[in-house]
Structure 1
């Protein structure tokens, strides 16, 4: 019973924090709350035990990366909107960029490790083959991760990564949702992909010419 109560409490918390991010006056508070929740509660407390129990499985790391990527995006939003020292904001922003870069590496690697699961998600009508696009998007995510980590064409890489995740929504998850709107799993995958689009967009924006001033 207490787990059900905690699940509802977490859902309410995310709803309120998400709404706070949308409102300009509370965006910093909302971003801080979501970053703390995903980094401390989801990544460390909830997934920490799973990571220790299944440390030899690549999927464990790519699953954690999905939550870490959201936390990274939230951290960058907080750094850009909070009334904090410019140097601290720059360090937090770079930390978020680095975390997201590592996540991109893991996402791309998962395409190769789990090709048997990734390729069937690609529409069959898309030439030249499902495997080609599964490999191509895997390579693309790895390349984007390297670019973000090394700051070599990092913003272009983040923009292309945003476009890639948007294409997943249009070609994979969106059509699956239309075909089976009652599937909670498909709804959650669409929500996750939408969050990754937003996080990648935030990273790309943070890699543009700095516009933040000292508070």
Structure 2
């Protein structure tokens, strides 16, 4: 159990760092994260962007401390689930419901909410049965998100393949298809409970490879790009989410 708690703490910390990185970028640019679509004409938009960034920064920092982890996780779950997913992205879904990208984009934000829910379930002083149900809900939500992430690789192959380094054999398209299939397979494993932990461990490693092979080199090439910076921060948060899901599966015996 002690080893499990250590691993869980590391996953939580990566998750918290990812959210804090998103927040710092929002503060630096004075705007919302690209995954949090707020109309430019919205009243007091800049002030709200700073307020949202401060909330994410404080909650992400709270994740890093054992005594405040449950409070930070609860705040991030509520913010991402109700404000980001429903209020911010809900209107986008209504306006572009026929576009697959609408759902894969919202899945990125939903995955962060799922990670927060699992961390809350695993750290809050709540009844064990409720904790297990909340954790499983977070796992299932992330499983659906993984399906959407993988599907986006196939639907938007023209956008995905160019992200793969050209020097990586055999081809860019091969790795775009392979990583898309891998995420779909991981999603199915999580939803069915068949080899779920192994699948999520491999998925975590895949997200780490995205950071090393794609997003970090892009950031070094153009450190002034808000979009590239936000993709790096988002990927770090998703590494944390996948890590937390893997550990929660181990603790629940799945």
TM-score by length of 1: 0.97
Specify the alignment match of 1:169 in structure 2: 211
Deviation at 1:124, TM superposition (A): 0.3
How well do the aligned residues superpose, as a CA RMSD in angstroms? 0.9
1:189 correspondence with 2:208: no
The answer for the alignment partner of 1:25 in structure 2 is 67
Residue 30 (structure 1) shift = 0.2
2:169 to 100, 124, 127: 127
Superposition pairs of residues 39-58 of structure 1, within 5 angstroms: 39-58=81-100
> What is the alpha-carbon distance in structure 1 between the residues aligned to residue 79 and residue 141 of structure 2?
16
Q: Offset at 1:71? A: 0.5
Shift in Å, 1:86:
0.3
Q: Say whether 1:137 aligns with 2:179.
A: yes
Matches within 5 A, 1:110-121: 110-121=152-163
Shift of 1:85: 0.3
Deviations 1:64-98 (A, max 9, x none): 00000000011000000000000000000000000
Deviation of the 1:210 alpha carbon: 3.4
Q: 1:11 to 1:138 in 2, by over 3 A?
A: same
- Is it true that 1:107 corresponds to 2:149 in the alignment? yes
Deviation of 1:163 (Å): 0.3
Unaligned runs of 5+ in 1: none
Closer, same or farther: CA 10–190 of 1 in aligned 2, 3 Å: same
| Alignment: residue pair count | 211
Shift of 1:171: 0.2
My pick for the range that moved more, 167-176 or 202-211, is 202-211
Deviations, residues 134-171 of structure 1 (Å, cap 9, x unaligned): 00000000000000000000000000000000000000
Greater relative CO, 1 or 2 (CA 8 Å, sep 6+): 2
Question: Is 1:72 matched up with 2:114?
Answer: yes
d(CA) in 1 for partners of 2:234, 2:53: 15
| Distance in structure 2 (CA, Å) of the matches to 1:101 and 1:153 | 13
SS of 2:126's equivalent? coil
Match of 1:81 in 2: 123
Q: SS of 1:169's equivalent?
A: helix
CA distance in 2, matches of 1:22, 1:113: 37
Task: Please report the TM-score for the alignment, with normalisation by the length of structure 2.
Answer: 0.82
5+ long unaligned stretches in structure 2: 1-42
**1:96 is matched with which residue?**
138
CA distance in 2, matches of 1:165, 1:42: 22
2:47 aligned residue: 5
